[in-house]
Amino acid sequence: MTVKIAVLVSGRGSNLQAIINSIEKDRIKNAAINVVISNRTVAYALERARNHGINAVFLDPGKYDKTGYDRAILDVLKQYDIDLLLLAGYFRLLGNEIIEAYRYRIMNIHPALLPAFKGLHAQRQAFEYGVKVAGCTVHFVDEGLDSGPIILQSCVPVISEDTEETLTARILEKEHIIYPEAVRLFVEGKLKIEGRNVLLLNRVTDQIHDQTGTDFTD
């Protein structure tokens, strides 16, 4: 059976691209991205979707109130009979109706080691705080801000020569590794949720090794 995936985006879509590539290269088997939905009409992510023959939908937030917008997203998810919803650089909060309808079936990528540095500009927050280790997190989405159960994390060292930009780029490389990996684990039924803990079934180690991460993006 194919797991049907929808991806919500707002911008560049490099994480979307990493997941598309993983599916096309059969690193993630039995999954398809059926639709990409953006709240911004100019999002390059929409173009990436079209380049790969994926339905690309712009939903204009200006046309709905908050509840109406979430219903419009839900309608698209139902239309495509979606099993798994991925937030990939989606810069709006999801409403409770979607979260309830897709409990433990919505994932988000966040460019910090949660629970530190939630919200916007996470890499800048970490850089300005002066951390020595930064990173990224894939987590299930719940009603809170960046607060759902953590699926995978990857860390990167912060070095003296770093700027916010170099650190952001190094974190992004790790995002492109752990997001497809989290999707793979979901699709293969290898995530078991016990309260806040997401257990990774049948893995020798919870460590994500870098060799799984080459060549994920354009």
Where on the chain is the footprint of ligand GAR (CB under 6 A)?
A: 11-15, 88-89, 109-111, 122, 172, 175
Range list of β-strands (E), the chain: 3-9, 31-38, 55-58, 84-87, 106-110, 133-140, 150-157, 191-194, 197-200
Decide whether 80 or 90 has the Cβ nearer to ligand GAR. 90
Indicate the residue type of 101: A
- 52, 110, 139, 176: the catalytic one is 110
Decide whether 15 or 153 has the Cβ nearer to ligand GAR. 15
C-beta of 107: minimal distance to ligand GAR in Å? Answer: 12
Rounded to whole angstroms, how far apart are CA atoms 113 and 154? 8
C-beta of 134: minimal distance to ligand GAR in Å? Answer: 12
Helix axes 44-51, 14-24, angle to 10 degrees: 10
Cβ neighbors of 1 (< 8 A, separation 6 or more) are 30
In the complex, residue closest to ligand GAR by CB: 89
Q: Is 113 left (phi over 0), alpha (psi -120 to 50) or beta?
A: beta
Whose CA is closest to 207, among 110, 149, 126, 135? 135
Decide whether 115 or 189 has the Cβ nearer to ligand GAR. 115
Alpha carbons within 13 angstroms on the beta-carbon side of residue 63 total 10
Longest dimension (CA), the chain: 50
C-beta of 160: minimal distance to ligand GAR in Å? Answer: 23
C-beta of 118: minimal distance to ligand GAR in Å? Answer: 8
**110 has catalytic annotation:** yes
C-beta of 45: minimal distance to ligand GAR in Å? Answer: 6
Decide whether 24 or 75 has the Cβ nearer to ligand GAR. 24
Decide whether 93 or 201 has the Cβ nearer to ligand GAR. 93
Catalytic residues: 110
